Structure 1
Amino acid sequence: MKSLKTLVCSLIAVILLSCSSSTTNNQDYQNLSEAEMFELAQQIAQSTIIVDGHVDLPYRMWVDESTHQQEILNVAERTEGGDYDYPRSKEGGLDAPFMSIYIPSRYQETGGAKMLADSLIQMTKSIATTWPEKFAMAYSPQDIQNNFENGKISLPLGMENGAPIEGDIENLGYFYDQGIRYITLTHGKDNLIGDSSYDTTYIHGGLSEFGVLVIKEMNRLGIMVDISHVSDATFYDVMEISKVPVIASHSSARHFTPGFERNMDDEMIKKLGDKGGVIMINFGGNFIDQSFDEKNKNVNEHIVNWLAENDFKRSDREAKAYIEKYVEENNPFPSVEKVADHIDHVRDLAGIDHIGLGSDFDGVGDTLPTGLKDVSMYPNLIAELLKRGYSKEDIEKICYQNIFRVWNKVIAFSEAT
């Protein structure tokens, strides 16, 4: 029996056909009022599969458990704090957040990376087993499609940092069997696979010899290669070695953040597009706005000084009221328009077929843009794209079709080898 959402989606699709166009410059949308535009954006969010390439819920849950919380964080209900839970996911139309199995770089030195990865994977799977009417695991685009039709949120798995491989190529097969479907090769430090964009040592000058073997084995197994976090040299090595398109699961355009190597420059974005890949735009403030860090620093310094001068704590009622008012009047956060600027830039460089969404929700702290503060707010971004002339077909590509295409190509290559 089809879910209510599926039936509603079918009705919405009929409505949307009357104002949809296959061209990017959709004049019908431009004639809509602000309210009508947002209503259409909400309809598209609910009727279209939305895949987010990177949500850090598992590590958020693990940190909660490490403080001796007695039960698994109940993300089936609205939670205090954090960016992700089931009600907000449904409100925003998010159907498939890639759950980030995030391994901090310190585990490369202290050991235990594989053990932590196993813990986070099992914790994520426990969400699906604890609330099976709301969540389901997903190991392929078809799984996501099936779960969507049944009204469930999919939980695909991506591993952030290849450290849990621990120098043993056999562990790639182990993690594939555990459900990992992409691996971010590095994180904050160079590792056994290659060099990181955040490090300055550049031990390998790109991929290591072991890293070359890792890419080939990921291709063979059907694990997507994720080049977010890697150095430029590592990126270009991956482009030469991988036989299938790769992804940047949560990166943005360096054009707007000069000197921030964690983002991708124009030539890298073009190369990624030429090879059929997808860059999934990160929403974090310092990823999308060069001036965010300085603005945020100034606001925080003012608040700290004001608290000291008035002998207040942040938890005091008067202090909370003052801080809320001051931040509202001196908002350091970028806007949803900034995220759309990055999407425009990638479209102009590589084309509409090479853009996705990789928010980094629950991973970038209190840096998210006004209008994109949690997973309930995807319609705000869709509305902005509609204003800029993106068609429903364009938005569907950004929301899921582009990442599905890459993922299916990776699967097909694996099955053929």
Structure 2
Amino acid sequence: MRLTLLAFGLLTLATAAPAQDLDAARRLAQQAIIVDTHIDAPGALRKRWADLGEEQPDREFDYAKARRGGLDVAFMSIYTSAAQDADGSAWQVAHQMLDSVEALAQRHPDRFALLTSPKDVERLRQGGRVLLAMGMENGAPLGDDIANVQRFYDRGVRYITLAHSAANRLADSSYAAEKPWNGLSPFGKQVVAEMNRLGMMVDVSHLADASAWEAIRLSKAPVIASHSAFRHFTPGFERNISDALALAIAKTGGVVQIPFGTAFISPEAAADMQARYRARQAFNQHNANLRAQGLPVLDEAAFERDWAPQHPPRTSTLAQVLDQIDYGVKLLGIDHVGIGSDFDGVDGELADGLRSVADYPNLVAGLQARGYSEADIRKLLGGNLLRVWAAVEAAADPARASSGQ
């Protein structure tokens, strides 16, 4: 059946699906606790500020959309790039992003609240608040100081994606051709142990396989993949998780959170993304060589001008997201799959029908149509992640010190 979008982003079937089916999906989305482990609103705010307490037509996350979609817990991505790691600004950028999330909650205490423990979800979401939790995407802001894990914990960070698009001081990236650590660095091993001690979730999304394996092996608490689709659908794309790694995560008691971005769920788009990262790394290395020789470097904008026309945007569908969930449930069991959309983080290249946080009811309707029970849908929407978070918290050192909690 062909899918079209209504103005509010809610899906309707071209062959006129019964209105009561969509109404039932909306009701369940409002009643269930929805936890999305990866929303890049802080990065979008750094590019152009907007008051997310009000509806913003150019944002995929804001309060009005979140309430329409039934979102309860939004993990704000505290993302820093490999370039910011290289120039030493990652620590500063991370704190600025944390400030922006705190400011949002302070500006609209009736609409948002900061969330640092799964124990507080029911209490804080009363009155229709959207709860803002924090996940750090890329461990670069930690620098070389293990004490920074505690400092960011005290600021509310509850998971760390150990690396992103390039190897850092902790781990290797899935995107990079070079893998200097072939696992975790000595510092990365210390960071995993410190995260376990504090009760922070260890996130292996974006990691090279060897790094992910070592993080899973070393962690004494359940591990998550905060926004990783299954490599089964995108052979050769290391950014997506292999079956063996996913099974190892499930064995820890952890969860694999499925993203909605086209680049992760479309084989063609995944191939484009992998090729782009490799080409960009080669371009940067060429410029570094030129610079070392005292020669003029190539214009940075030239790379994008040459790349974009040869690689037009791809499309993806809600059905492809549902296929990912089906595959994960069959592979891992219903208790080990969830959602980590990547809203505001993929330049709008998202599955049709899942364009913003208003659209979770479309996902619910699709799950209902595929025969999932209400209890299982509640697990997928957020119950599984909250269980894992609680287990990580319970495994923490009860004597851990805190300067901010």
- TM-score normalised to structure 2 length: 0.83
- Pairwise mapping of residues 88-99 of structure 1 onto structure 2 (< 5 A)? 88-99=65-76
Aligned residue for 1:288?
A: 265
Question: How far, CA to CA, are the matches of 2:343 and 2:142 in structure 1?
Answer: 25
CA displacement 1:12-68 (0-9 Å, x = unmatched): xxxxxxxxxxxxxxxxxxxxx642221111000001110000000001001115xxx
Q: Which amino acid aligns with 2:163?
A: T
* CA contact 1:250–1:282 (8 Å) conserved in 2: yes
State the superposition RMSD in angstroms.
1.8
Which amino acid is 2:247 matched to? K
Asked whether the 8 Å contact 1:49–1:148 carries over to 2, the reply is: no
The verdict on how the C-alpha distance between 1:144 and 1:118 changes in structure 2, with shifts beyond 3 A counting, is same
Counterpart in the other structure of 1:277: 254
Superposed counterparts of 1:132-151, under 5 Å? 132-151=109-128
> Over residues 158-195 of structure 1, what are the superposed CA-to-partner deviations in whole Å (9 max), with x where a residue is unaligned?
11000011011011110011110000100100000010
Q: Which among 205, 212, 229 is matched to residue 252 of structure 1?
A: 229
CA contact 2:313–2:349 (8 Å) conserved in 1:
no
Deviating beyond 6 angstroms after TM superposition, the runs of 4 or more aligned structure 1 residues are 293-296
Secondary structure of the equivalent of 1:159?
strand
- Assess if the C-alpha contact under 8 Å between 1:100 and 1:159 holds in 2: yes
Identity among equivalent positions (%) equals 43
Q: Give the one of 29, 54, 62 matched to 2:38.
A: 54
- Offset at residue 225 of structure 1 (A): 0.5
Query: Partners in 2 of 1:219 and 1:294 — Cα distance?
Result: 35
- Aligned runs of 1:361-372 on 2, under 5 Å? 361-372=343-354
3-state DSSP of counterpart to 1:156: strand
Q: Which residue of 1 aligns with 2:327?
A: 345
Per-residue deviation, 1:120? 0.5
Aligned residue identity for 2:70 = G
Paired with 2:255 and 2:73, the residues of 1 have a C-alpha distance of 16
CA contact (8 A) 2:119 2:390 kept: no
Number of aligned residue pairs: 346
State the alpha-carbon separation in 1 of the partners of residues 370 and 256 from structure 2: 20
Q: What's the CA shift for 1:78?
A: 1.1
Work out whether residues 334 and 368 of structure 1, in 8 Å CA contact, stay in contact via their aligned partners in 2: yes
- Deviation per residue, 1:259-280 (Å, 9 max, x gap): 1111001111111111111011
Deviation at 1:331, TM superposition (A): 10
Distance 1:165 1:274 in 2: 28
Partner Cα separation in structure 1 for residue 115 and residue 268 of structure 2: 38
**Which residue of structure 2 lines up, in the alignment, with residue 403 of structure 1?**
385
Over residues 280-330 of structure 1, what are the superposed CA-to-partner deviations in whole Å (9 max), with x where a residue is unaligned? 10110010111347899xxxxxxxxxxxxxxxxxxxxxxxxxxxxxxxxx9
Match of 2:104 among 111, 127, 145: 127
Q: Residues 162-201 of structure 1: matches in 2 within 5 Å? A: 162-201=139-178
Any gaps of 5 or more consecutive residues in structure 2? 1-16, 274-311, 400-405
Report SS of the residue matched to 1:235. Answer: helix
Cα distance in 1 for partners of 2:223, 2:176 equals 22
1:35 aligns with 2:19: yes
**Cα distance, 1:295–1:63 mapped onto 2, change above 3 Å:** closer
Q: SS of the residue aligned with 2:159?
A: strand
What residue identity is the alignment partner of 2:316? P
Which amino acid in structure 2 is aligned with residue 358 of structure 1?
G
Q: Does 1:358 pair with 2:340? A: yes
SS of residue paired to 1:127: helix
Deviations 1:136-161 (A, max 9, x none): 10001122221223321100001100
Looking at structure 2, the residues matched to 82 and 293 of structure 1 have their Cα atoms a distance apart, in angstroms, of: 24
**CA offset digits 1:61-115 (Å, max 9, x no partner):** 01115xxxxxxx1111111312111111111111111000011111121002111
1:295–1:332: 8 Å Cα contact kept in structure 2?
A: no
Map of 1:326 onto structure 2: none
Determine the C-alpha separation between the residues in 2 that align with 1:340 and 1:267. Answer: 21
Which residue of 93, 100, 109 maps to 1:116? 93
1:37 partner letter:
D
Q: How far has the Cα of 1:415 moved from its partner? A: 4.1
Distance 2:317 2:334 in 1: 22
Give distance in 2, aligned partners of 1:246 and 1:274: 9
